[in-house]
Structure 1
Amino acid sequence: MNENTDVMKNLFLPVFLIAGSLFASCTSAVFKPIPSANPWDDNYLSVAKMENYRQWGTYNVHDPSCRKLGDYYYMYSTDAIFGENQKEAKEKEVPLGYIQMRRSKDLVHWEFLGWAFPEIPEEAVRWVQAHAGGHGATNIWAPYIIPYKDKYRLYYCVSAFGRKTSYIGLAESVSPEGPWTQVGCTVKTDDSTAMNAIDPSVIVDEVTGKWWMHYGSFFGGLYCVELNPETGLPLKNGDLGHLVARRANYRKDNLEAPEIIYNPDLKQYYLFTSYDPLMTTYNVRVSRSDAAEGPFVDYSGKAVKDTTNNFPILTAPYRFENHQGWAGTAHCGVFSDGEGNYFMAHQGRLSPQNQLMVLHIRQLFFTPDGWPVVSPERYAGTVPRKFTEADLAGEWEIIRVQEPKYERQLEAGQILWGEGELKDGEWNLSTRISLLKDGTCKGEMTDDEWKIVQMNGNWSFLTEKHLLMVKFGKEEINNLIIFAGHDWENETETILFTGLDSQGRSVWGKRIK
């Protein structure tokens, strides 16, 4: 294990446990942002051709599932490739196989291993094409990895776009790198079912040992089915499970990509979901429960299967200064290193065209009241450090992450052809505030209507817990988590914060001066 990985062991304890243990070093000098080059470029057009696939370490990542397995973090993702050319791939003997595999020791530098399968499993192809008029089953979506005893289980889905004709299959291997043996079908759906068999995520109940698979999409919502631990398949043959989450106008308001984790310190199960179209306003929400199978409630205590729009909102399209911005920031994988440190992985689509798919990995923390929040910046191996109140005084760039206000016409929960760029009402843009040495603050901030308002107020810092409090007007934003991180837009190491406002919307910040 390298030096960066050792440092990471203590990065992400729940906030109420940090009290000095989060930080590896301390300095008496007042902190200033430190120049530091980005580990890789965001634009990968120079290595986008089929023969360059071994250079796709953080590129062409879509719907990632990641887990620490032995000495490596292994990642599996949908075989979505910018500029994919099947003819060219065949000519140049590129082994396209429909589940991309990667590994990393530090969560920064990723090795592209190739593809898990040599072809789409025949049983999945037969089911989908037989129930979709011969269409669909052209690639594999949204794999999910989980170990069991001395082997590894890889769930995956095959579908026909815009239909409920789908198939979630299971393969196993004695190595996280394969080769994989097909086990069989977990769930399959068609136009006659209420649900859609895509996007599997599996959790083991910490008390009962029961296995549960969450899955589904905008077609009818998200469902949860009990699995047989010994086989990895449904405990009851043909069982499709029970409803977990849905949105009222499901044909228009997309809901998909469940990801379920358990936090043993908080004794809570967290269900991460994705809202809206994947190429544009894709955003991550989260709910929680005492039980792996639910029911789940949101930030306001509302049941997430009651068709309301739920909060917290953790990620959404955003743009800091000095960058063109990111869209499609959802369909996340959430994972731990096994020592209390948490991360979120998801795709980001490089704006303005939103076609290049780049891996985003963010540090994930839990607020004092037990809600997950993520870093405003991608993880880049920053060495942690302890900060003082004097370190925080300076100019900050901040973003209030909110749901999109612009109403689009959608089809099957996705944007119409030619509508792939973000509109003005869909961006989360940054503003600037200054934290002054006398404990006052001033600057600009967006309100609930996305209007920029002038703010004057006060701030304070709980040094031992590393929590920032900001008050302006009648609004207080408390328990903003302060930590060291990498500023990708300005290529510096700096101070970051993340947290939630009183309505469950993420608030992000980074010190720039």
Structure 2
Amino acid sequence: MEGTESWGLRHAHDPTVVRGDDGTYYMFSTDAAAVQEHIPSGVHIRTSEDLVTWRFLGTAVDGVPRPAREWSGAKGLWAPEVVRWPGGQWHMYYSASTFGSNTSAIGLAVAPRPAGPWEDRGVILATSSGESTQNAIDAAVTFDRDGEPWLTYGSFFSGIYTLRLDPASGRPAKEGDAGALIARRHPSVEGAIEGAFILYRREEDRYVLFTSYDSLFSTYNIRVAVAEHIEGPYRDLNGTLMTDLEAQPTSVGTKILGSYGFDGDTAWSAPGHNSVLVDGEGEQSDYYMVHHVRFAEDPQQHMAQLRRLFFTEAGWPVVSPQPFAGHEAEALDAPESLAGMWRVVKLEPSSAAVAHAIPMEVTAPAEVVAGKEYDGAPVPVRLDVAGTELDAVVFASWDWSRERSVLSFSGFSADGIAWFGTKGD
């Protein structure tokens, strides 16, 4: 389509990425630019061979399918979730709504492959203003420890819900089931929670809930919590329930990504609505957080990003401070010492401002040999960052401001605050 050739990852909102049987990666996203001339309405698809360079392919469905459009009045589709279904088909769960309304619908389309053709199967879950407390948008699918599918959804209003799906049809296992409430926010912040995604981690045999807080236009940030069961209860790193309305609203959920900037590089604001790509099998899997973000200097411009996702020794997810540049680009030329000056960002949970990197000294506690050299493979480690001890992971990344491969880290202090940084002053 005219005007899309140079997009790359620009205009992609609410992204999710899957890998087809042919090895091609497919990104599905909200049709964020559909209002522009020559830009089609419907779920947008991009393809990539390396997760770095992306090409606009077209749309998965032609506009808003009639059942969803008639129910919601939607002009475009939001937040597609695409997942390989048992038996070989692919399922797409799309959202149809209008801004600020919970007269919304989640629909289902199926295809033999990510590139399509996609066949609409109609609305599977609907909510109505004045009747429903939930909001039927922002679908995400998780297969639990027994291989059973669950649909997690919700935005603002009464919070985030999850319900069991029928493995054969992909529809709710119990007709009319709205699901269990697993996360919510206090009315004082207008219930600002959405874009949930649940990842089952077999290594810890528990579920990791990702959610986005606050305004998608300016103050979005990503929080996590964990649970032993998919229906919860979910608690953050400090043990606070994700349904707690008594705690200070900004203190609930462990913030792992917010607005930040490194000197000499683009400052990013409002990262949010993430999904997780698990690329590979078992212990050899690579994890990527897929999300959209805005340019701090021009918030009207937004794009999708992928960044490496790791797990600390305690099993908590952390993300790279640097967007993914490709494994070859990120590989270190030679092992590097851990100790030295790093540019470090502290992601304060209570702050919505852009957190700028500050030069800080990083040393190794007694249990790690000071000056140990790392080859760039992800390594869980205890770090001392200017006197603060972190449960962290060290790994190789690409420093976009210095244009070189470097060491980075990401981790948590004992009070549940996330820190990340890149080596070099």
Fold in common (TM above 0.5): yes
Gaps of 5+ in 1: 1-49, 130-136, 406-424, 441-457
* Secondary structure at the counterpart of residue 77 of structure 1: strand
1:156 matches 2:94: yes
Measured in 2, the distance between the counterparts of 1:196 and 1:395 equals: 47
Residue equivalent to 1:206: 145
Q: CA deviation at 1:241?
A: 1.0
2:353 corresponds, among 426, 438, 452, to 426
Q: CA deviation at 1:179?
A: 1.4
Measured in 2, the distance between the counterparts of 1:471 and 1:61 equals: 35
* 1:241-276 superposed Cα distances (whole Å, 9 cap, x missing partner): 111100122652510011111122222211100001
1:320 corresponds, among 242, 251, 262, to 262
Residue equivalent to 1:195: 134
Q: CA deviation at 1:54?
A: 2.5
1:77 corresponds, among 29, 34, 40, to 29
* 1:126-161 superposed Cα distances (whole Å, 9 cap, x missing partner): 1113xxxxxxx1111100001111210000000121
Normalized per residue, the structure richer in strand is 2
* Secondary structure at the counterpart of residue 163 of structure 1: coil
* Secondary structure at the counterpart of residue 236 of structure 1: coil
Measured in 2, the distance between the counterparts of 1:392 and 1:298 equals: 29
2:213 corresponds, among 252, 275, 289, to 275
Q: CA deviation at 1:324?
A: 4.3
Measured in 2, the distance between the counterparts of 1:60 and 1:299 equals: 33
Measured in 1, the distance between the counterparts of 2:380 and 2:144 equals: 32
Amino acid at match of 1:322: G
1:264 matches 2:202: yes
1:496 corresponds, among 383, 396, 408, to 408
* 1:205-234 superposed Cα distances (whole Å, 9 cap, x missing partner): 222x32210100111000111111111111
Amino acid at match of 1:302: T
1:310 corresponds, among 252, 261, 283, to 252
Measured in 1, the distance between the counterparts of 2:279 and 2:188 equals: 35
Q: Please, what is the CA RMSD of the aligned residues?
A: 2.3
Measured in 2, the distance between the counterparts of 1:433 and 1:203 equals: 39
**Would you say how many aligned residue pairs link Structure 1 and Structure 2?**
407
Residue equivalent to 1:397: 343
8 Å CA contact 2:337, 2:371 repeated in 1: no
* 1:14-43 superposed Cα distances (whole Å, 9 cap, x missing partner): xxxxxxxxxxxxxxxxxxxxxxxxxxxxxx
* 1:412-448 superposed Cα distances (whole Å, 9 cap, x missing partner): xxxxxxxxxxxxx612111112458xx79xxxxxxxx
1:68 corresponds, among 10, 13, 19, to 19
* Secondary structure at the counterpart of residue 55 of structure 1: coil
* Secondary structure at the counterpart of residue 54 of structure 1: coil
- Name the % identity: 34
Measured in 2, the distance between the counterparts of 1:434 and 1:118 equals: 54
* Secondary structure at the counterpart of residue 217 of structure 1: coil
Amino acid at match of 1:239: D
Residue equivalent to 2:78: 141
Measured in 2, the distance between the counterparts of 1:178 and 1:494 equals: 39
8 Å CA contact 1:387, 1:463 repeated in 2: no
1:330 matches 2:272: yes
**Considering only CA atoms, is the larger Rg found in Structure 1 or Structure 2?**
1
Residue equivalent to 2:226: 288
Q: Counterparts in 2 of 1:43-442, with a 5 A limit?
A: 51-70=2-21, 71-81=23-33, 85-86=35-36, 88-89=37-38, 94=39, 96-129=40-73, 137-148=74-85, 149-191=87-129, 192-207=131-146, 209-249=147-187, 252-307=190-245, 308=247, 309-339=251-281, 340-381=285-326, 382-385=329-332, 391-405=337-351, 426-435=353-362
The 1:212–1:459 alpha-carbon spacing in structure 2 relative to 1, beyond 3 Å, is same
Residue equivalent to 2:384: 470
8 Å CA contact 2:242, 2:253 repeated in 1: no
Gaps of 5+ in 2: none
The 1:293–1:510 alpha-carbon spacing in structure 2 relative to 1, beyond 3 Å, is same
The 1:85–1:276 alpha-carbon spacing in structure 2 relative to 1, beyond 3 Å, is closer
The 1:281–1:358 alpha-carbon spacing in structure 2 relative to 1, beyond 3 Å, is same
* 1:466-498 superposed Cα distances (whole Å, 9 cap, x missing partner): 62521655xx32233211111112222211111
* 1:136-190 superposed Cα distances (whole Å, 9 cap, x missing partner): x111110000111121000000012111110000000111111111112121001
Amino acid at match of 1:144: E
- Segment of structure 1 superposing worse, 254-263 or 53-62: 53-62
1:484 matches 2:396: yes
Measured in 2, the distance between the counterparts of 1:217 and 1:85 equals: 23
* 1:48-99 superposed Cα distances (whole Å, 9 cap, x missing partner): xx72202222111110111222212221100112xx654x31xxxx5x0321
The 1:114–1:250 alpha-carbon spacing in structure 2 relative to 1, beyond 3 Å, is farther
Q: CA deviation at 1:111?
A: 2.1
Q: CA deviation at 1:377?
A: 0.5
Amino acid at match of 1:198: I
* Secondary structure at the counterpart of residue 57 of structure 1: coil
Q: Counterparts in 2 of 1:1-12, with a 5 A limit?
A: none
Q: CA deviation at 1:358?
A: 1.6
The 1:393–1:256 alpha-carbon spacing in structure 2 relative to 1, beyond 3 Å, is same
Q: CA deviation at 1:360?
A: 1.2
* Secondary structure at the counterpart of residue 426 of structure 1: coil
Measured in 1, the distance between the counterparts of 2:56 and 2:188 equals: 36
Q: What is the TM-score of this pair, normalised by structure 1?
A: 0.75
8 Å CA contact 2:13, 2:32 repeated in 1: yes
